Structure 1
Amino acid sequence: MKNAFLNRNCQYLLLLVAFSFSSLTAQNYQKTALGVKTKLQSMDVEVQFYNPTIVRVLKSPEGVAFKKESLSVIKKPQQTKFTIQQQGDVILLKSEKLKVAIDVKSGKVSFNTLSGASLLSEAASGATFTDFNDAGSKTYSINQLFALDKNESIYGLGQQQRGKLSLRNAKINMVQGNVDDYVPFLVSTKGYGLFWDNYSPTVFEDKPESTSFKSEVGDCIDYYFVLGGNIEGSIAGMRELSGQAPMFPLWAFGYWQSKERYKSQNELVGVVTKYRELGVPLDGIIQDWQYWGNNYLWNAMEFLNTEFPQPKKMVDDIHNMNAHVIISIWNSFGPQTKQFKEMQPKGMLLNFGTWPQSGVESWPPNRDYPSGVQPYDPYNPEARDIYWKYLNKGLFSVGIDGWWMDSSEPDHMDFKASDFDIKTYLGSFRKVRNAFPLMTVGGVSEHQRAASADKRIFILTRSAFAGQQRYGANTWSGDVNSSWQSLRNQIPAGLNFSMSAIPYWNTDIGGFFAGAYKKGWGDGTQNPSFQELYVRWLQFGAFTPMMRSHGTDIPREIYNFGKKGEIIYDAIAKTIDLRYSLLPYIYSAAWDITNSQSTMMRALVMDFNDKKVVDMNNEYLFGKSILVAPVVNAQYTPETIVKSNEETGWNKNNDANGTKSQAVTFTQAKSTKVYLPEGTAWYDFWTNEKMNGGQEIEKATTIDEIPLYIKAGSIIPFGPKVQFATEKKWDALEIRVYPGANGEFTLYEDENDNYNYEKGAYSTIKFKWNEKFRTLTIGKRNGSFKGMLASRTFNIVFVDANKKAGIGGSSTFDKKIIYNGKATTVKE
């Protein structure tokens, strides 16, 4: 009996110890209003619910206080219901959408669905802090490892010129550059997004055993997990965190002509005049650098060049031809500018090498006469005020319509490691380096919006960072080389950028550095090798959020390539006309971005559960209906290998093509392979032929057409033939219905400029196609705005292979509907 009693007491004591340990473990966290705080492996860890689907994770060395205010995230955490349970070594938090598990033994945080399916997990012992002296401030280099599923695909991280779509097995050194724009946000085919909220140089690396972010400096590890359900939902979550994209004016979606550079006021206005004389559509002209004069006056934001004697008249002349003008502004200033002289005594300039390196225009730069140009400190709110003061006085006041913010990363030349020690308003340049474009673009955007709501902000910028979509900016891919490989690279570059939650992107049509095509060809415009590349690039550019022709060495205006009736000229004109016919579709897609967090340039993996498209880098959807398969290989000319970059490209003596190519005829039909994703049927845009998805086809092509396919169930409006976007009201739209599946489309209209749409001044009309009953329902018009059409005509076309296809303007319609804003149904 005595032994039995002792055994029972021992068992009791063991249970008591176990219970006490369990209770102690259970108490090893502190509940907060947003989640929990705990200590793991010599780290303070905090998990915060920003809403039921967005979770923030903060880590820092134990006991080390820090203060972190995000530059990208503007959302404040909302009150979210959640529960906390302790299950052994795991602290389990659960919202109505998501489970978060904190393993107190291994230190890892993981994210799971409510049913327990794994979404993302940190690798065990995956967080490290390494002491780092950041220009005299004690901080850390930080690293976080994650464990991804072998079969998931990830995308985003901004724009890279890798030529690949998927980020698996990639190592990317994320430091902003001329042709690389880094955004530390990725999305997964498992339906989540991950935002690494750090602004210092960062290495992303995906290996079979782990995926990691390693940043040079950080007082803490700070990342956000976004449960989106799919890629588009994850993008929407990132925009909820970092800001929504406003509407651009309708004219921003027309055709833009530019080059490096128009050298006089008369030349700039003359280009617009010539387009109007030719009847070729044009909405915008861009003035590149040097309108301010010499390099010592770099970016003076004044027309000091004597070739621009009447800037107000210049702008008025362009406006009187119903076109718009944007102008090059930079993020650095020459030593003789008013901005430099005001900012320098206040410590608002960053003293490192930037463009231009010489005060004398020559190549290579004459270092005996340094330009003295220095970037400004956009992290400093007073510096941003000064920047806008001169921009407003010198350029906005004369009616300039938008800003071309060049070198917004900025150019960092003659790099020295000590440059990162330079002090900014927010600490070392190292600490905030990658956020430079966000701060400088944001400074202009916020000031203009405060000054005027009559004109929508339109900024064309060379670089971007997380959150920049909220500033009315369209990012271009930098000074890319003029080559077929460069063209091929632009497609995955634009798609990954778009999947980084920033929806507006474009590229220099034809490539920027094109001097290699001039040797023996005068200005290069009659070189068949360049003609073919340019036309194919233009056709791709017609299906990007901004259609803009630009480059150096070879002029890009249509009339330089020939005249009406000649094959290259006609191919260019046809492509521009196609862009304009799609403006109702494009403008409605822009509203879908602003209103529903959508994406215009869509990787096929966003919309199709098809293993063959997870790494497809040469096709995409434009909007949700048009499959674009650009021709990205030379078909008529040899594919010349051209090697230059943003440094060597300025050497005008380094032209690569030493001999003229043989005469080329572009009349012969060629062919290219196109993959049609499974899960839907597709219509050939040019022929209306219907084909099943899930197959690769051989598509016949000509120099004036690229493969375009329309998804079954699509409803697409086509606008009138115009010379500029707002020339004609949309009072007689052609509405094409592509049968084969149920579908819908919402036509959006507003006042085309200003911000009245934010006050409800817009209208929407929803079109629905019922495949079973073969009926098109045109819904009641919702909303109103000044100048809205009270009555209009919809010319309905039910597409099949026996009807005319191609650019809008069918001669035969199936139904002609007079629409007065009331719902109506049309039977096929």
Structure 2
Amino acid sequence: MTLNLKLVISWMIIISALLIFNSCSKPYEKSKSGIIYEIPCSENESIKKISISVLSPVIIKVSIAENDSLLVVPSIIAKEKLGAEVRFDVSSKDEYIKISTDSIIVYLDKKTGEISFHDVYNSLLLATTKNEITPYKLGNDSSYKIKQHFLWTENEALYGLGQHELNTLNLRGQKIELSQHNTRVSIPVLLSTKGYGLYWDNYSQSYYQDSNDSSYLASDVADKIQYYFVKGRQFDHIIAGLRELTGESPMLPRWAFGYFQSRNRYKTKNELLGVVKKHRDLNIPLDAVILDYMHWGDKGFGSMVFDSIDFSQPEQMIDDLHRKYNCKLITSVWPSFNKQSANWQLFNKDSLFLGLDLGHFGDVYDAYNPKAGELYWSMVKKSYWDKGVDGIWFDATEPEQLKRFKNTQCYLGPTAKYQNLFSYFDMKNVFEPQLEIDTNRVFVLTRSAFLGQQKFGSVVWSGDIGTDFKTLKEQIPTGLNFCMTGIPYWNTDIGGYLGGDPSDENYQEVFVRWFQYGAFTPMFRAHGRRHPFSSRSGENEMWSFGAKNQEILTDMINLRYRLLPYIYTLSNKVHSDGYTLMRALVFDFINDESVYNIVDQFLVGNIMVCPVTEKGAVERKVYLPKGCDWFDFWTGKKHTGGQTIIAAAPIERIPLFVKSGTILPLADVMQYSSEKALDNIELRIYPGENADFVLYEDEGDNYNYKQGGFSTIQFTYNEEGNTVSVGGIKGEFEGMLQKRTYQITKVSEGVAVGIEKTISGNIVNYNGNAIKVKL
């Protein structure tokens, strides 16, 4: 065969292929929000419809289904529209359709359906390859198994997916099952160092895999493939986009950032009140005490009563906590009901159970059913809120026994299709009606979560974890990855849950190191079932671990309370700016690849926290991110960023470093968060670059901030002029201070360091008007 003949045949094959493609291809449909395109027909595959919707200049929704009706099934979690219509352009070439906003360019391959996302400079951010939609019979219901393959690049780091007890932060090369268990919280959100986030919009058991030959997200039960692409230069921008899409996080009450004391469990009201009284007598700050399960005595799970002997006159006990001790009470509630309880009868008569019998724990209510949710809330309200309880600890909200749970039928259909959403609906059932009747901010603690649950004021804890250094080490990246999914408030049982003897020196070290770490998690709470187990739990209070350790633990609580103005201001940024309180280093140093795989350091604002997780350690390695200087909080010594140092870490000290260009407000130590007005704040200035900080204040425990009931004061440090400017106060709220005193000190070695208040400094009497101070 001659060369010319070969060329002719080749061209004929190409032309034939193009003719076949064009004969099957249909033009895309353009709508106000995007396009719908039908993938060309194939002998081996069914026709697929692809919808690409532009929800904002930086948020793109992708849906892929086998028919139009499934394509438009609304998301349970994500909003269908985000404000005003977005301007975007659509153009079509032979090979692709191009959709562009002022921030994103999306290409859809007409032949394969592959989609790629680019920035405005046409640099690739993310590409998809093949997808699979496989028919699947779920009982009597027709459904699909789905899988979408992604091409993640070699130098890209990925984070998120929730809480999975991995001693790793970067999720590249991992294989993770996304389902809810005690100690596992699965949230299908990924953040990439290439500047985007991905929300996989599915609620069934799902899977993430990243390997050389097959990288994908997949789910067991679905109507369609659906995901959201969110572009952002920084992780804060991406998370702000996710919260715009799924719900903003409300302000928690100020007391939620104080110290919580708990154990499994306080057996009588006298024991509980005695612990709170001892805190006050010893001047150990405390904002809340937790009354764990079994406070209902022999009445059974779901009875929602206080035992008539051990917790007689509960209203008086709660009133004593409030009036005598200025302490809040949190009580434990479960989603299950024992058959001997009157509440079980009320659910059962209207068939409001899931059909999941947990034996001793009872039957689990159908949280997906609005009628069941209304009944559940009415019981919680009558039994706890109406008696003065300040917050609820919702336990076992996965719920337990996943395999049996997902084989039940819920209000929405086969539970397997919605299994990861139980906690979402459980919290929705109690948050939304409380907003209608209560002026106080909702506080709930729960063991499970899903994206969107942040709008219900949820605080999540990591479940019944171990009590050793290995577990502590795992909890640090576990919590950081959880907080990178858009839900900002997370904590652990300080000291772990099951085990630990307070009289054992080895365990005392674990507890102290864990407590130091816990002082910098969003919620600061000790809990556990300690030795001896004969009475459910031994002691778990500050004084239980010996006099020396009590002093160390008290110092950490004092530091937490000194930091409250800073932490509370950051919590307002969580609400108003999409901020994240507990931050992996990549949040603020995304251009420093050295931080991508650091699992045991994190930021709270500009404070870098470096927990100690090795037995007997008195020092540890610390990487100081480049681009700034770092000051040792305890000594004031300055270090240049971009290097690894050996930090001193005696048992009484957790290594802390503060970024140059930081203004750190520190309050006087308080015994509870509202004991004192913030009229005597120490401002520590960490020099080396200009700094800015806007102090936020409000009434602390109502929703008046939503109507403008708050104030801000801006502090600005000028490095060249060596001055601090205090701006005029903006806004107002009931009880706001009109005058206050600031003590301003520039940090240097040995000056303005540690927990104690600095003696020296510039004293500024502030009356609400702008003032400039020369340091």
TM over 0.5: same fold? yes
| Counterpart in the other structure of 2:114 | 108
Residue 541 of structure 1: how far off its partner (Å): 0.3
* 8 Å Cα contact 1:184-1:197 kept in structure 2: yes
| Counterpart in the other structure of 2:733 | 785
Q: Which amino acid aligns with 1:556?
A: N
Structure 1 segment 475-494 matched on structure 2, within 5 A: 475-494=460-479
* SS in structure 1 at match of 2:674: coil
Structure 1 segment 31-430 matched on structure 2, within 5 A: 31-41=30-40, 42-62=47-67, 65=70, 68-74=73-79, 76-77=81-82, 78-123=84-129, 126-294=130-298, 297-320=300-323, 321-354=325-358, 357-358=359-360, 373-412=362-401, 415-416=403-404, 419-430=405-416
Structure 1: distance between partners of 2:463 and 2:17: 63
Structure 2: distance between partners of 1:121 and 1:590: 35
Pairing 1:442–2:428 present: yes
Describe the superposition over 1:551-574 as per-residue Cα deviations: whole angstroms up to 9, x where unpaired: 002421112223xxx321111111
Choose which of 582, 587, 592 in structure 2 pairs with 1:606.
587
Please give the root-mean-square deviation of Cα atoms over the aligned residues, in Å: 2.0
Residue 209 of structure 1: how far off its partner (Å): 3.6
Describe the superposition over 1:288-321 as per-residue Cα deviations: whole angstroms up to 9, x where unpaired: 0011123x62121111352111110010011011
Pairing 1:810–2:758 present: yes
Structure 2: distance between partners of 1:63 and 1:701: 61
What TM-score do you get using the length of structure 1 for normalisation?
0.88
Structure 2: distance between partners of 1:773 and 1:114: 40
Percent pairwise identity: 39
Residue 378 of structure 1: how far off its partner (Å): 0.7
| Counterpart in the other structure of 1:366 | none
Describe the superposition over 1:114-172 as per-residue Cα deviations: whole angstroms up to 9, x where unpaired: 2111111111xx21111111121011111111111111001001111011101101111
Choose which of 515, 532, 542 in structure 2 pairs with 1:558.
542
| Counterpart in the other structure of 2:635 | 687
Residue 262 of structure 1: how far off its partner (Å): 0.5
* 8 Å Cα contact 2:263-2:527 kept in structure 1: yes
How many residue pairs match? The answer is 747
Structure 2: distance between partners of 1:826 and 1:720: 22
Structure 1: distance between partners of 2:16 and 2:551: 86
| Counterpart in the other structure of 1:634 | 615
Residue 504 of structure 1: how far off its partner (Å): 0.5
* 8 Å Cα contact 1:680-1:711 kept in structure 2: yes
Residue 351 of structure 1: how far off its partner (Å): 2.1
Choose which of 589, 593, 604 in structure 2 pairs with 1:622.
604
Change (3 A) 1:128 1:285: same
Describe the superposition over 1:70-112 as per-residue Cα deviations: whole angstroms up to 9, x where unpaired: 2221362441111111122100011121111110112101111
Residue 773 of structure 1: how far off its partner (Å): 2.1
Structure 2: distance between partners of 1:577 and 1:115: 50
Describe the superposition over 1:413-465 as per-residue Cα deviations: whole angstroms up to 9, x where unpaired: 6x44xx5332111111100000111110111111111121x210001111110
Residue 544 of structure 1: how far off its partner (Å): 0.5
Residue 64 of structure 1: how far off its partner (Å): 5.9
Q: Which amino acid aligns with 1:145?
A: H
Pairing 1:729–2:729 present: no
Q: Which runs of 5+ in 1 are unaligned?
A: 1-15, 359-370, 518-523, 637-669
Q: Which amino acid aligns with 2:306?
A: F
| Counterpart in the other structure of 1:716 | 664
Q: Which amino acid aligns with 1:309?
A: S
* SS in structure 1 at match of 2:168: coil
* 8 Å Cα contact 1:475-1:505 kept in structure 2: yes
Structure 2: distance between partners of 1:455 and 1:75: 30
Describe the superposition over 1:482-522 as per-residue Cα deviations: whole angstroms up to 9, x where unpaired: 010100011101100111011100000000011xx4xxxxx
Structure 1: distance between partners of 2:463 and 2:489: 14
| Counterpart in the other structure of 1:656 | none
Q: Which runs of 5+ in 2 are unaligned?
A: 1-14, 41-46, 532-538
* SS in structure 2 at match of 1:263: coil
Structure 1: distance between partners of 2:123 and 2:238: 17
* 8 Å Cα contact 2:745-2:752 kept in structure 1: no
Change (3 A) 1:635 1:589: same
Structure 2: distance between partners of 1:736 and 1:65: 57
Structure 1: distance between partners of 2:526 and 2:68: 55
* 8 Å Cα contact 2:684-2:752 kept in structure 1: no
Describe the superposition over 1:385-407 as per-residue Cα deviations: whole angstroms up to 9, x where unpaired: 00011111111111000010100
What TM-score do you get using the length of structure 2 for normalisation?
0.94
Pairing 1:502–2:505 present: no
* SS in structure 2 at match of 1:569: helix
Structure 2: distance between partners of 1:699 and 1:250: 33
* SS in structure 2 at match of 1:216: strand
* 8 Å Cα contact 2:563-2:666 kept in structure 1: yes
Residue 230 of structure 1: how far off its partner (Å): 2.0
* 8 Å Cα contact 2:49-2:71 kept in structure 1: no
* SS in structure 1 at match of 2:355: coil
* 8 Å Cα contact 2:25-2:38 kept in structure 1: no
| Counterpart in the other structure of 2:721 | 773
Residue 27 of structure 1: how far off its partner (Å): 5.5
Structure 2: distance between partners of 1:496 and 1:569: 31
Choose which of 769, 772, 775 in structure 2 pairs with 1:822.
769
Structure 2: distance between partners of 1:721 and 1:293: 38
Change (3 A) 1:274 1:116: same
Change (3 A) 1:163 1:62: same
Residue 819 of structure 1: how far off its partner (Å): 1.1
Structure 1: distance between partners of 2:17 and 2:353: 62
| Counterpart in the other structure of 2:551 | 570
Moved >6 Å (runs of 4+)? 16-26
* SS in structure 1 at match of 2:177: strand
Q: Which amino acid aligns with 1:481?
A: G
Residue 63 of structure 1: how far off its partner (Å): 5.6
* 8 Å Cα contact 1:720-1:808 kept in structure 2: no
Structure 1: distance between partners of 2:750 and 2:721: 21
Structure 1: distance between partners of 2:17 and 2:134: 36
* 8 Å Cα contact 1:719-1:808 kept in structure 2: no
